[in-house]
Amino acid sequence: MATHSTSSSKPTESQMIEGVDDVTPAVISAMSKAPNARLRQLSESFVRHIHAFAREVKLTETEYEIGIDFLNRIGKATTDAHNEGVLFVDAIGLSTLVCLQNNGDYGATETTSSLLGPFWRQHSPRTENGGSIVRSPTPGPELFVSCLFKDVKGSPIPGVEVDVWQASPVGLYENQDDSQADMNLRGKLITDVQGRLQFRSVKPAAYPVPTDGPVGDMLRLQQRHPYRSAHLHFLGCKPGYKTLVSQIFPGDDEYLDTDVVFGATRHLIANFKRHDSGSAPTPGVQAPWYTLEYTFVMESGESKLPAPPIK
């Protein structure tokens, strides 16, 4: 009888399971021949930790089945317009943890970086410096944003390609809402020779994350609210600099301390200054209107765009 083998080499030690204590070493041994050292490290550490979790909580077979179903539901709920997987890792704080570990001083919040979130679209329309990203009638007070991009030494960085995007104050991104024009409240700008850019929008408002999928079930079971604190998204990219992903939050938002995805850090809170009188940067604007000034710091490094979570 013919036999089939998936490997040209035999294992150097037995992977026979005699009891509970044999499972983890056997799995790690089976993966030990992976030629990529980083892959071995990630795989072995993941197995050790997930097995330790199962031992610590004495995971039941029913709970195991519920967990597998939860992961399968995340996959089924992910579409071109919605990424449930990104929403899940955001809602358990993993996105913010990875962001803070890899930007600025390790473990600190003094960085202008933040999580990407599940709603970035890669091909937003080019917007002239000082232009508007409002592309269809959108409720909310006018907002005029002025940003400076500089390096760690304080020098301005010209020519940074910056994506900006936000949800409408009605609580939806434009790809979730048929009443909004395509790419409403999205734009791509370039910093000028002084490292600055300006654009016009509306003041962002808090909104609930989608709760009709497994992440919504998790939040309800944990008795957590689904709201994100109001924010603006920024993604800055230029060769020679590490791609900067960030969010900026108004300091007066009621969900600032309880953002459902743990995205608000102290360094990202800014003053959205309210104006009840005076002349706005653009004629014909009714009070109240707001201005925002903020400085982003970009580290030197590789310019690499993240994978778009939606199309």
What tens digit of pLDDT does each residue of 36-71 get?
999 999 999 999 999 999 999 999 999 999 999 999
pLDDT at 8 > cutoff 60? no
Contacts (Cβ under 8 Å, ≥6 apart) of 289 = 141, 142, 143, 144, 274, 275, 280
Q: What is d(CA 258, CA 263) in angstroms, rounded to the nearest whole number?
A: 9
pLDDT in tens, 84-106: 999 999 999 999 999 988 887 65
pLDDT at 110 > cutoff 70? no
Q: With cut-offs at 50, 70 and 90, classify the pLDDT of residue 170.
A: very high
Q: What is d(CA 156, CA 135) in angstroms, rounded to the nearest whole number?
A: 30
Domain extent listing, the chain? 21-59, 84-298
Which pTM was predicted?
Answer: 0.88
What pLDDT does residue 3 have? Answer: 44
**Angle, vertex CA 127, rays to CA 300 and CA 166, nearest 5:** 75
In 3D space, the residue among 149, 145, 167 whose CA is nearest the CA of residue 291 turns out to be: 145
Q: What is d(CA 208, CA 224) in angstroms, rounded to the nearest whole number?
A: 11
pLDDT in tens, 247-283: 999 999 999 999 999 999 988 999 999 999 999 999 9
pLDDT at 151 > cutoff 80? yes
- Percent of the chain scoring above 70 in pLDDT: 94
pLDDT at 107 > cutoff 70? no
CATH number of this structure's domain 84-298: 2.60.130.10
Helix (H) or strand (E) run with residue 66 in it? helix 61-77
